[in-house]
Amino acid sequence: MEDDATHNDPWKSWFQLYGPKLLLCARQWTRSLADAEDVVQEAFVRFWRHQRDLPGEPMALLITSVRRAALDLARRESRRTAREEFADGGLEDNPPLFQITLEQDDRRDAIEAALRLLPEEQREVLVLKIWGELTFDQIAQQLAIPANTAASRYRYALAALRQALTAADCHG
């Protein structure tokens, strides 16, 4: 039986609906699913406390919060990287970007490899466009770049993915 508070709290309902998309976005900027979950939680709390009354699309504002929380986490982690590498011989190698099971592991591996090969600027625009469902204008605002640049990076990313996946299909 669902809690009556969920029905009375539109933010809980909204988060249940859009939380998985935020998690997919966060996963692109973090090393593990656990980190992504922490980032989404931190971002949502930041948003709720400081940004929920700001004008604009809540999803766009939340994706900005997710991105900032992921960057903050990366900064904190970079301070510990040398110590971790010394202690355990290295960090996790190429953690999977997708937590869903795909029918063909080879195809999933090819997609993940192709995404990792993209320049960060292109991958970031791709994530914001596909998983964040943002417009190029919203992406431009998030990244402080012109909308045309966002659109170009998206096209270049798609072309690079298409080329990498076609090459993988030919060799697989």
Q: Which domain holds residue 153?
A: 98-172
Has residue 97 got a pLDDT over 90? Answer: no
Question: If DSSP codes are grouped into helix, strand and coil, which group holds residue 145?
Answer: coil
Q: Is residue 105 located within the same domain as residue 130?
A: yes
- Residue 125's CB is within 10 A of a number of other CB atoms, namely 29
List pLDDT tens digits, range 27-57. 888 888 899 899 999 988 888 887 777 777 7
| Predicted structure pTM score | 0.57
Q: Is residue 65 located within the same domain as residue 137?
A: no
Percent of the chain with pLDDT over 90: 15
> Between 161 and 9, where is the model more confident?
161
Domain end: 95, 116, 142, which one?
95
Q: Angle CA(108)–CA(109)–CA(112) in degrees, nearest 5?
A: 85
Please count the structural domains in the chain: 2
- Alpha carbon of 33 to those of 26, 29, 40, 45: distances in Å? 9, 10, 10, 18
Q: Is residue 61 located within the same domain as residue 113?
A: no
CATH (domain of 118): 1.10.10.10
List pLDDT tens digits, range 68-86. 888 888 888 776 665 666 6
Distance CA 7, CA 3 (A): 7
Has residue 116 got a pLDDT over 60? Answer: yes
SS3 content of the chain, % helix, strand, coil (to 5): 75, 0, 25
Q: Is residue 74 located within the same domain as residue 108?
A: no
Domain end: 29, 62, 95, which one?
95
Residue type at 130? I
Q: Is residue 137 located within the same domain as residue 90?
A: no
Q: Is residue 71 located within the same domain as residue 12?
A: yes
Contact 43, 69 (CB under 8 A): yes
Helices within 30-92 (DSSP H only) = 33-46, 58-88
CA neighbours within 13 Å on the CB side: how many for 165?
13
Domain end: 64, 95, 126, which one?
95
